[in-house]
Amino acid sequence: MKTQEIIPAEGGRNFENRRNFLTKTGLLIASGIGVTGFLGSCGGEKGGDEDVTTNEDLMREHGVLKRILLIYDEASSRLTTGKDLNLSLVGQAATLIKTFVEDYHEKLEEDHLFPRFEKAGQLADLTKTLRIQHQKGRILTGRIITNAKKTNLTSDDKKAMAQDMQAFVRMYSPHEAREDTVLFPALHKIISKHEYDSLGEDFEKKEKEQFGGDGFDMAVDKVTEIEKGLNIYDLNLFTPNV
């Protein structure tokens, strides 16, 4: 059965609303503002990295790290149990840790966040521990990358590699959780809104300079590729049978 389109009568409220909308958008277009700007001012969906706040930017980067921790969990389990493992995927994950997390994300924290807290005399003990953990993480990452390049891992190599990945996961799970729930929220208390917004703009600029584009999107694409290579991309795999 064909559905008949219902067209409101000219005097109806829907028609009036439509006519008012068209009149307003016509004026906006004539003035050079455009419909997109008008919709945005009316609460339409925001888009683009310019709408990502400083903390949101940092925390979504932590989301990439969390997914790599899951990769490390799976890889270390396979090494320990003797299951097949494509070492090149582990190497790719560790390299992503180095380029995106250590050389970019952590550098932002060390250069722009930690000094502000230390200057304000706030959470200095926490930032000290976080710095130390960054250093320890880089040591673990270097060893994981080195082992991943080997063509024939000995049993000792496999054991060491599994232990390094497990140590990384054990340290970074609480590390990023403490930053997300303590450090990042406290940033609002020690800097002005203007400085907070400027910091986000600086981060975005640095990201584009370092990666030649949206580094976050690139990292998500890469981690997705690794997950699919390990056959752990399907989220349903993590649902318990209860």
What pLDDT, in 10s, does the model give residues 74-89? 999 999 999 999 999 9
91-104 pLDDT, tens digit per residue, is: 999 999 999 999 99
pTM above 0.85, yes or no: no
| Mean pLDDT across 97-113 | 97
Is residue 38, in this structure, part of any structural domain at all? no
Whether 10 is covered by a domain: the verdict is no
Report pLDDT for 20. Answer: 52
SS3 3: coil
- Over its C-alpha atoms, the chain yields an Rg (Å, rounded) of 25
Does a structural domain hold residue 97? yes
207 compared with 9, residue with greater pLDDT: 207
Tokens found for residue 8: 């409101």
pLDDT at position 83: 94
Band (pLDDT 50/70/90 cuts) for residue 203 is very high
CA distances from 143 to 35, 99, 109, 216 (A): 54, 15, 23, 25
For residue 239, being part of any structural domain is answered with no
Domain CATH code at residue 153: 1.20.120.520
For residue 223, give the nearest of 93, 106, 101, 105 by alpha carbon.
93
pLDDT at 70: 98
Which pLDDT score is estimated for 51?
72
* CA 205/CA 213 separation, integer angstroms: 9
Q: Are 68 and 186 in contact (CB under 8 A)?
A: no
Task: Judge whether 48 lies within some domain.
Answer: no
Cα–chain-centroid distance for residue 70?
Answer: 14
With respect to residue 17, please indicate whether it lies within any of the assigned structural domains: no
For 20-72, the pLDDT digits (tens) are: 544 444 444 444 444 444 334 443 333 444 578 999 999 999 999 999 999 99
Contact 107, 53 (CB under 8 A): no
C-alpha–C-alpha distance, residues 202 and 112, integer Å: 10
Range of the domain at 120: 53-234
Candidates 171, 165, 194, 178; CA nearest to 85 is 165
Evaluate whether residue 170 is within a structural domain. Answer: yes
